[in-house]
Amino acid sequence: MEKVLQALDTLWPILAAAIGFTVWLIRHEGRSNFNAERIRDLRKDFESYRTKTDQEISDLETRITQIDSELVKQISDVRESLARIEGALGISKKV
């Protein structure tokens, strides 16, 4: 009986370390799985936001093109009006 107690006294730190290491490995695996899942979720979110942002950029480019063409038309109208005013007042352009 004394040999068993002596062996137990000698081996208990090794057993405790083995149990602790096993627990650490299990926790590490769980954290690793959680992180992998989170990365997948973030990639999905990123793709969703990227698609949404690309669509918004496309919409803005379309709107800018529309505004640009409207602005060109309005400037043309102003030029015509100024030409009519100059013609009515008899003002000639000096170059």
The per-residue pLDDT for range 18-70, each reduced to its tens digit, is 999 999 999 999 999 999 999 999 999 999 999 999 999 999 999 999 999 99
Provide the token pair at 27.
Answer: 């926790």
Q: Count the domains in the chain.
A: 1
Examine residue 71 and state whether it is found in any structural domain, yes or no. no
Examine residue 38 and state whether it is found in any structural domain, yes or no. yes
Examine residue 81 and state whether it is found in any structural domain, yes or no. no
Provide the token pair at 84.
Answer: 């009519």
- DSSP 8-class letter at 90: T
Examine residue 23 and state whether it is found in any structural domain, yes or no. yes
Closest C-alpha among 84, 60, 64 to residue 72: 64
Examine residue 85 and state whether it is found in any structural domain, yes or no. no
State the residue range of the domain holding 45.
1-60
Q: Which residues contact 85 (CB under 8 A, 6 or more apart)?
A: 91
pTM for the whole thing? Answer: 0.52
Examine residue 91 and state whether it is found in any structural domain, yes or no. no
